[in-house]
Structure 1
Amino acid sequence: MKQGTTLFLKITVILIGIPVLALCIFLVPKVGNFAGELYPDMAYMKSLVFIVMYGAAVPFYFALYQAFNLLRYIDGNTAFSELSVKSLKNIKCCAITISGLYVISSPLFYFIGKKIDPPIGLVGIIIIFASLVIAFFAAVLQRLLKEAIDIKSENDLTV
């Protein structure tokens, strides 16, 4: 595969990480403070928002790192290796973790959404389903890649 194609994808992976970093720096503190102001009697509300949102950012960036590694494996002509299968497995686990965090925290966002006019519960649902789609897609690719590696190793033994 030409390096230009993977270079474009590597740049895209980096560009995907920049807006999420900006959201973590600028928007998450505002959302946490807003949640604390909505429920002043529940002091832990602000901390829960921080834990959920920053907690979801960690597996997100790990999955981006694994996607970057996968592109490096493609560049190095080692795409059909156990390293690629492991990267896809890690991406799948990260997506499931993000989805699980938002499923567990959905009551938190329900309480916040009760007090504001446009409910934000839809955003949580979108994040949950998008993460699940990524997890299923990574699982399918992982299985296909594993089967391709098995077929390749059988052919290498035959010849």
Structure 2
Amino acid sequence: MNVQRGSTTFLKVIIFLIGFAVLAVCIVLLPEAARRDAIERPGDYSLYPLLVCAYGICITFSVALYRVFKLLTYIEKKNAFSELSLQSLEVIKKCTFTVIFFIFLAIVYLRVHAQYTGDDAAGPISLGLMGILATSIIAAIVDVLQKPIKNVLNS
């Protein structure tokens, strides 16, 4: 097994583990948070918009992980500079913008909710802004990776 195949296999295992963690969040943690909130504050549905955003982020992130897994498969098959890898990168970039959209919706909701309840939402909002920054960096990296592939395909 050569170095490239070993490194792509390692990355595939890491992606699989991250995907498993996201699945655990969607199946175990988020429903448990909703259950506890319903018990503590019956009739208060203020957590539900945040749950919708969290599920949207998890689903979009899972789609992006799947496309990264496929991209690594293309790289293993010496098919890195192909139309298929370009399509995978395009889907990953769209997923990053969708995640940014969901984080932005959560930030807006937190700000509006804090305005009405008098809570301080500075901590969660700053974490959301850091998430937007990290996702924007990933989008920029994907855009940089797309350019050489487009150049190879156009020439």
User: What's the TM-score once normalised by structure 2's chain length?
Assistant: 0.81
Q: Which moved more, 1:82-91 or 1:3-12?
A: 3-12
Question: What residue in structure 1 maps to residue 30 of structure 2?
Answer: 28
Q: 1:142 is matched with which residue?
A: 146
Query: What letter is aligned with 1:47?
Result: Y
Structure 2 gaps of 5+ residues are: none
Flag structure 1 segments of 5+ consecutive residues without an equivalent: 152-159
Q: Which residue of 2 aligns with 1:8?
A: 10
Shift in alpha-carbon separation, 1:96–1:29, aligned structure 2, 3 A: same
Instruction: Check conservation: 2:22, 2:62, Cα contact below 8 A.
Output: no
Matched to 1:143, the amino acid is: K
Deviation at 1:83, TM superposition (A): 0.4
Q: Give, in angstroms, the shift of residue 21 of structure 1.
A: 2.3
Q: CA deviation at 1:42?
A: 5.1
Structure 2 counterpart of 1:18, one-letter code = F
CA separation of 1:74 and 1:150: change in aligned 2, threshold 3 A: same
Aligned pairs for 1:1-159 (under 5 A) are: 2-32=4-34, 43=45, 45-110=46-111, 111=113, 115=119, 119-151=123-155
Q: How many residue pairs align between the two structures?
A: 150
| CA shift in 2, pair 1:37/1:96, >3 Å | farther
How far did 1:36 drift?
6.0
